Homo-oligomer: A and B are copies of this chain.
Amino acid sequence: MPVELTPSQALGLWHTVSLEQVRVDGRDLTLRQMAILLQIYLVPPPHTVRGLAATLGVTKPVITRALDTMGALGLVDRVRDERDRRNVVIKRTVDGALYLEKFGDLIIDQGRKQPK
């Protein structure tokens, strides 16, 4: 069953979730970083720098830098691919899963609060 939203509900949901996320979380990931993080956690592995760059429509250094940042935050991990040592496989972490779980809860909560 798809999610049916009115225009007011759609923007209202984005509004309250963004607002709450800004207020609560100091990390302030960019939209790109968030898209990368969700891609890693919601789409079956393996994930590579090149693959993510193609999916997002951005250059490879953008991915490398985002992984640097999110790696420092403990949200993702990098492991060299032993089968083809040119590749780096991006791994999920417990902290990253927790982060997204809380974020998902926030979306659900704010969804419930949307009027109409």
Interface: A83 (CB within 8 A): no
Q: Which of A5, A23, A105 has the most CB of B within 10 A?
A: A5
Segment among A53-61, A73-81, A88-96 that sits at the interface with chain B: A53-61
Identical copies in the complex: 2
B2 close to A18 (CB less than 8 A)? no
A21 close to B31 (CB less than 8 A)? yes
Within 8 A of B (CB), among A5-53: 5-7, 9-15, 17-19, 21-23, 28-32, 34-35, 38-39, 41-42
Residues of A within 8 A of B (CB): 1-7, 9-15, 17-19, 21-23, 28-32, 34-35, 38-39, 41-42, 55-58, 100-101, 103-105, 107-108, 111-116
- Given A2-B111, A28-B32, A114-B3, A56:B22 Cβ within 8 A: yes
> Inside 8 A of A29's CB, which chain B residues have their CB?
31
- Rounded to whole angstroms, the CA-CA distance of A96 and B107 in the bound complex is 24
- Rounded to whole angstroms, the CA-CA distance of A31 and B56 in the bound complex is 18
- Rounded to whole angstroms, the CA-CA distance of A10 and B55 in the bound complex is 21
